[in-house]
Amino acid sequence: MKSVSSKISKSLIPSSVLTCADNSGAKTLMIINKVGKAGRKGRLAASGIGDIVMCSVKSGSPQYIKKKVRVVIIRQKQPMRRSSGMRVRFEDNAGILITESDLPVGTEVKGAMAREVVERYIKLAGIASRVV
């Protein structure tokens, strides 16, 4: 996995609620755990922009409700610092559904996507409407 050029503030922990920003059918997601987590024993695995998390679908189409899905986080409320010194923050926490091979499930993204996600996952840039 490619590294990110920015200092990402890891602010999303398990039980955080995300909005689904693609047209896959899911609407509200709740983080269960971080994929590939590593850290101190007993500490909650915090995640941020560009991380892959396992989520439970809380609302949306019946084929996704109560199912576990893989999600990549594309926006977060907590400000993050880019290498140029600029701080970027979004108005909501959002993610998009991906497959086991890191390909998007939906065909378009609603709203902006952070540039750090596009750097790490090039296939997701094809469905982005805006990259900030």
Angle (nearest 5°) at CA 121 between 35 and 77: 70
SS3 content of the chain, % helix, strand, coil (to 5): 10, 35, 55
> How confident is the model at residue 1, as a pLDDT?
65
Taking the C-alpha atoms of residue 115 and residue 83, their distance in angstroms, rounded to an integer, is: 12
Regions of the chain where pLDDT drops below 50? none
Could you tell me the two tokens for 1?
Answer: 């996995």
Taking the C-alpha atoms of residue 64 and residue 38, their distance in angstroms, rounded to an integer, is: 28
> How confident is the model at residue 131, as a pLDDT?
94
Could you tell me the two tokens for 30?
Answer: 């709740």
Which fold would CATH assign to domain 17-131? Ribosomal Protein L14 (2.40.150)
> How confident is the model at residue 37, as a pLDDT?
82
| Domain-wise residue ranges, the chain | 17-131
pTM above 0.85? yes
